[in-house]
Chains A and B, each alone.
Chain A
Amino acid sequence: MRYAMVIDTLKCVGCSDCVVACQTENDVPLGYCRDWIVETVNGTYPTVNLELKSERCNHCDNAPCVRCCPTGASYVADGGNIMVTPDECIGCGACIQSCPYDARYQHPDGWVDKCTFCNHRLEKGQLPACVSVCPTKCMYFGDLDNPNSEVSQLLKTRKHKTLAPEAGTKPHVFYLI
């Protein structure tokens, strides 16, 4: 089992539903976020290209945030999900400094928080909250180890990219382009 998220930038409209849904699902305090939307515009009017994408923790295979955590609060859970245990976290911020995607933030209660791939929902057989609300259905989630899963199939058949591959973290959020 290796969880992965695949996001189709050709369909994402940047509506931010994934951001609100994460907030209400995971009690992310207002003023913080586990996911966010980036808009990139290239070209000169009227030859302009616009890309919208929803970003979050990439649940990296080679996760520097886990490596640098002095207490083991950041750990690799089953399915490759990178998780944080709040009562093992001392709030040293090392993991925040180590993440090339700035995917983590300090929760107002002191510990460090970030996207969990909605582990609690996966355990119940539900899709992550953001995936399940996305009105354009541009987010896919599943098992990369299973060659027949939707995510495996999409990555096999469609052109895709990851963010900052040069950081060497081997992200598990993929963007179809």
Chain B
Amino acid sequence: MTTSRRKFIKISALGLGGVAATTSAINMFGANSYLDNLVKQDLTKNFKRTATYCEVCFWKCAAWTHTNEKGEIKKIIGNDDDPHCYGRLCPRGTGGVGMYNDEDRLKTPLIRTTINGEQTFREATWEEALDLIASKVNNIKENNGPESIALLKHGSPGKHLEQLFKAWGSDTFAEPAYAQCRGGRETGFATTFGSWIGSPEPTDIRDTNCLVLIGSHFGENMHNSPVQEMSDAIDKGATIITVDPRLSTAASKSKHWLAIKPGTDIALMLAWMNVLIEEGLYDKEYVEKYGLGFDKLKDHVKTFTPEWAYGITTIKPEDIRKTAREMGKAAPAVIIHPGRHVSWYGDDAQRERAMAMLNGLLGSWGRRGGFYFKESIKVPSYPLPKFPTPKWGWKEIGAKYPLAQMGLTFEVIKASIPNPENKYPVKAWFVSGVNLPKSIPNKKLLEEAMDNLEFMVVVDTMPMDVTGYADVVLPECTYLERYDHIRSANNREPSIALRMPAVAPKYDSKPAWWIAKQIGERTGVGNYFPYNDFKEVIEWQLKKMGTSLEEMEKIGVKNFPRKSRPLFLRDNENYEFGTQSGKIEFYSQELKDLGFDPMPVYTKHPEPPQGFYRLNYGRAPMHTFSRTANNPNLHELKKENDLWVNPKVARIMDIKQGQRVWLRNQDGVNSVFSIKVRVTERIRWDSVYMVHGFGHDNKKLSRAYGKGINDTQLISSVMVDPIMGGTGMRGNFVEILTENPNTNTEI
């Protein structure tokens, strides 16, 4: 049974046929209900539809904001033409109205002052705040160079501030979406296929025969189109194999759930490769044609039998064989999904490489039901003066990690702590769209860095944990109240999407483009902002692309035909991969030359000491990291995270369902708040699990404050990936405390 778009329309048409009957029957009996009338009126009120794309996470689904005549945002509905959402937003996108409506939002600029020896914020005018920022920036620029001002950003506001920084001559940028998120996979796949995965992932899930999820928990990870396509794949009877120590939602939908021992995935993948090769299940023609170093790989995995892996992963050899055969049978329409948040154990680039190599063996790269060749359309750059060249920047700061392809937050943080050996001292931060204390592990290090900054500006929409550390806080309006850059996405077909304000900014909040321009003008780089309204930029760009703002306001999303090449490899194509050799590198000379293992090897990771449990974390479908915890609509759905505990553990510890407990990690860090226990068979006995993003300690968040535990706080031990600098966060262990360990708690 499939649900194609066509069928969906059919149902609606069928409903339409019923309308005549419905209304006439109602009229006949005179039973026209008050509610019907009420809602009918509501609908005939004709909500105004405004194009936007969602900013509740970084999937950026295109949508329509619906506003009533009172100018209230009532609902947000996906744009049918958008390949990111196919007309259906995820719960967070639907609940995006709460981002706008949240009465706890930042309302005015805030400046740190000291009153009676107590540090506090005072409300300030934009003039005042911007002038203060300008004078500080000018000062630091002069004394230390613009490079020493770092931009830590994530999401849409980042791009506007980047323009400001580049105008100053700084590219000291970093975002958590690299070292705390996808970095490892980009390197793992780049060293194998010569190509990044990027976002959105070019996975042809809807046509796959076999989807292998290694820790990716779609269904909880609510990235929209893959969840939709996974559902299509279920309809089509695709085999889903999930490797996860926890019964994730995806695992519960899978034909095979391999309940792996945490941290042993590389061993499993080596064993899979062993089976694929030994049993001749791999795509010989493809490997022959495109592969490099297959023989070396064959030798390498010879001893990594399922029996060998069993002792490490606790997955039975027959299950390893069975699943490898399923993959072989499905190939090349098989996806070993690269995952997304992959900074787990510090050997993540290698684990991702193993995934890439499995895809290589199965011939799924460039094949229907595997990975497609993505394409996007270039948005022409608005004419600006040439930017000065920074003397140093993110690259130099992260130079220790040879294959880091983006700024490393963690290294920027380290560079901000005074140290005579540091050639690249960072003095000030602009933080925008990153809730640092929740996104970056090792809070002690982070706080030390922030302590040492000369100046810190936070641009945010909400009074989050990070705003509390700022010298100046600037309130940005939400995505529903502003223009932003045109979204140009990599997909099967190129597409662009428009974001425009549905309503005027609430309170005294302003869009990031305006903030960047204002600061630019005050710091002598106003010529890099040659427009009064960002709308002018978009208008210009759209015109260049053969459309117009007017058209885009009506359609929201525009799809363009593919130009680059076919979606998949042609039968007798001689495709050249982006690697040094032009081949799929099963053996990586590049890694070898850099002193790393040319092929992944399994290394043992630390295990929980007696009385401790491994801290596992993940997503809840209705929340995005820490940003939605206070969203009135989404808070309603899930108010706090809970601590998943296996019944065996609960019995040993004598803890009950719903009991409140505290946690202490291996370094003696106590959780600030308590968490409710959920006793469940979905979790192993050596781990506990919680959803990331709760335990807010900013009291200004009236709903989220004090609810649940912040997992990041307990991640003090970080396993840094030597190849690309990712911060592995899954090697922390906690003990469960039934008494509040905090002596002077203030609630």
Contacts and interface: CB of A to CB of B under 8 A. Distances in A.
Taking the complex as a whole, does A directly touch B, i.e. does some CB pair lie under 8 Å apart? yes
Interface stretch (A62-70, A75-83, A163-171): A75-83
B259 A24 contact: no
Given A20-B637, A122-B18, A45 B621 contact: no
B632 to A, nearest CB: 6
Given A20-B94, A25-B75, A45-B682, A149 B14 contact: yes
Contact of B88 (A122, A123, A133, A140): A133
A14 B11 contact: no
- Residue of B88, B224, B684 most packed against chain A (CB within 10 A): B88
B35 A85 contact: yes
Nearest to B226: A135
Interface in B614-644: 621-622, 632-634, 636-638
Given A15-B91, A45-B685, A141-B11, A20 B634 contact: yes
Interface in B1-38: 1, 3, 7-8, 10-16, 18-19, 21-23, 25-26, 31, 33-36, 38
B36 A125 contact: no
A44 B247 CA distance: 11
Nearest to A176: B1
A50 B27 CA distance: 46
A123 B257 CA distance: 44
Given A20-B91, A20-B94, A137-B3, A87 B621 contact: no
Contacts of A45: 247, 259, 646, 681-685
Contacts of A124: 19, 43
B21 A16 contact: no
Contact of B231 (A14, A88, A138, A150): A138
Contacts of A98: none
Given A11-B234, A20-B94, A146-B14, A30 B636 contact: yes
A120 B40 contact: yes
A154 interface: yes
- Residue of A25, A86, A140, A143 most packed against chain B (CB within 10 A): A25
B222 interface: yes
Interface string B77-103: 110000000011111001101000000
B408 to A, nearest CB: 33
Give me the 5 closest cross-chain CB pairs, A-B, nearest first. A125-B16, A13-B219, A46-B259, A50-B252, A15-B621
A26 interface: yes
Nearest to B85: A135
B81 to A, nearest CB: 16
Contact of B621 (A13, A133, A150): A13
Interface residues of A, number: 65
Contact of B90 (A17, A19, A27, A87): A17
A84 B35 contact: yes
Nearest to B621: A15
B74 interface: yes
19 contacts: A11-B253, A13-B227, A16-B638, A20-B91, A24-B74, A24-B97, A50-B247, A77-B26, A79-B22, A84-B35, A123-B23, A125-B16, A126-B12, A127-B15, A132-B87, A141-B11, A142-B14, A142-B15, A150-B7
B249 interface: yes
B15 A133 contact: no
Contacts, number: 197
Contact of B94 (A17, A48, A88, A116): A17
Given A13-B621, A78-B25, A83-B35, A24 B16 contact: no
B22 A78 contact: yes
Contact of A127 (B12, B21, B22): B12
B224 A135 contact: yes
Contact of A20 (B224, B230, B622): B622
A17 B91 contact: yes
A16 B633 contact: no
A136 B227 contact: yes
Contacts of B22: 1, 78-79, 122-123
A161 interface: no
Interface residues of B, number: 74
B386 to A, nearest CB: 44
Contacts of B224: 135
Interface string B57-88: 00000000000000000111110000000011
Contacts of B34: 85-88
Given A17-B91, A50-B249, A75-B31, A123 B19 contact: yes
A133 B80 CA distance: 11
- Residue of A44, A77, A140 most packed against chain B (CB within 10 A): A77
Contacts of B405: none
Contacts of B180: none
Nearest to A17: B91
Contacts of A51: 252
Given A45-B684, A125-B15, A136-B228, A30 B219 contact: no
B118 to A, nearest CB: 35
A79 B18 contact: yes
A126 B39 CA distance: 14
B268 to A, nearest CB: 15
B128 interface: no
Interface string B443-476: 0000000000000000000000000000000000
A111 B12 CA distance: 31
Nearest to B251: A50
A41 interface: yes
Contacts of A157: 1
Contacts of B94: 17, 20-21, 24, 133
B637 A14 contact: no
A85 B38 CA distance: 11
A75 B32 CA distance: 11
Given A125-B12, A127-B8, A142-B15, 18 more contacts: A1-B22, A16-B637, A20-B94, A20-B637, A30-B633, A45-B259, A46-B257, A48-B682, A77-B33, A83-B36, A85-B34, A122-B19, A123-B40, A125-B18, A127-B12, A132-B87, A132-B88, A136-B227
A14 B222 CA distance: 11
A58 interface: no
A7 B322 CA distance: 31
Given A15-B222, A45-B685, A135 B13 contact: no
